[in-house]
Amino acid sequence: MPGGKTHLRIELGLLGLMSAGGAVLWWQGTIGEKELGAFLGAYLFSSLFLSPDLDLWESQATRRWWIGRILWYPYSKVFRHRRASHHLILGPLTRIVYLGGLVLLGAWGWSRITHQRLLLPSLRTEILLPIIIGLYIPNQVHIMTDRIWSKFRVLRHRH
């Protein structure tokens, strides 16, 4: 399989292309700047911090979290490498729900300590879809790169 740096190079290279394409669409008035910014921000965050390789305790993906990598230790124990975490739909969903749960738990704890009401932000639906797509695409690229790499290796070893 390609290493974490290879995955990141591919994902960020595609981000550059999508940024250029998004700029053209924005210039044409096809998409708004908030939607484009939400997509690009979510894509970059997902590339850097929501890799399918968070199921490996010793990976580039977990090291990027620095001290926060401890948050992903339970995830790496529940999700075995290249199983559910590398599913095209369920993989990103598990990481989004897991991270969202940690954020909610932290916010709830903070509200209990400070005796403040927990207020959840509201997201407009026109921003929510670009965020979801931006979170998913780097994961799709990662998983498809793994699959293509595996097929290429099998074909190469047959000859």
Supply the pLDDT for residue 96: 96
C-alpha 94/C-alpha 152 separation (Å) is 28
Domains of the chain: which residue ranges? 4-158
Supply the pLDDT for residue 151: 76
Supply the pLDDT for residue 54: 92
Supply the pLDDT for residue 45: 98
Supply the pLDDT for residue 159: 59
CA dihedral 9, 14, 17, 22 (to 10 degrees): -130
Profile the chain (159 residues) by mean pLDDT over runs of 10 residues.
83 97 96 96 97 90 93 92 87 95 93 86 86 96 89 66
Buried residues in 102-125 as b, exposed as e (16+ CB within 10 A): eeeeeeeeeeeeeeeeeeeeeeee
C-alpha 8/C-alpha 145 separation (Å) is 11
Query: From the CB of residue 35, how many other CB atoms can be counted at a distance below 10 Å?
Result: 21
